Amino acid sequence: MLELKNQFEKIKKASYQLANISDSVRNDMLNKLSQNLIRYGLEAPKGKTLQDEDRYGFGSILVYEEDDGQFIIQSENFIRSEAVPEMQDRLDKIYDLSYDKLRALYKEQIRTNVNGSSKGAGLGLTELARQSVKPIEATFKKSNDEVHFFSIKAFVK
């Protein structure tokens, strides 16, 4: 019972700390990750058959605190395997960029749609990387020949 109470107190403390994070940054990060699910998530909820143009993505968004006190906002969803190389290329372009270089890339992306297959202007990953206090982390895990599980983490103060 004591362990359960300690876990509850830890969650309660984390909730208060998360509430103190800039609302605009936290909400914008959640928005970007939600857009990722809606626009690029592979599956609709089980039991639904939707046309591609009517389909909403399916996945999850997690918000949690690691042992070192770092807050993480993480999105997870399935994507088509054929989309992995392009997505990995987009991620590789932003992984090691400084804030100033990310800002310059963001401005360039606003001026020109650098990714014609993107369902937006391609700004989401760049903006997420700008707002994250540490480099974003992304992984792809092959589920089968047609599907990969995609996970992306952003770090909040």
Q: Hey, where are the domains in the chain?
A: 2-156
pLDDT > 90: what percent of the chain?
A: 11
Specify the pTM.
Answer: 0.70
**Three-state SS at 26:** helix
Query: What residues have CB less than 8 Å from 142, skipping those under 6 apart?
Result: 81, 148, 149
Architecture of domain 2-156: 2-Layer Sandwich (3.30)
pLDDT tens digits for 103-119?
898 888 888 765 555 55
Q: Report the side by side order of strands in the sheet with 71-80.
A: 59-65, 71-80, 147-156, 137-142
Q: CB–CB of 63/72 below 8 Å? A: yes
> Is the C-alpha dihedral spanning 116, 44, 26, 134 positive or negative?
negative
pLDDT tens digits for 53-111?
455 567 888 888 888 888 888 888 888 888 899 889 989 989 888 989 988 988 888 88
Across the chain, mean pLDDT equals: 75
Q: Is the pLDDT higher at 5 or at 154? A: 154
Residue tagged 């019972």 (tokens):
1
- The candidate with the shortest Cα–Cα distance to 36, out of 150, 117, 148, is 150
pLDDT > 70: what percent of the chain?
A: 64
Say yes or no to pLDDT of 50 above 60: no
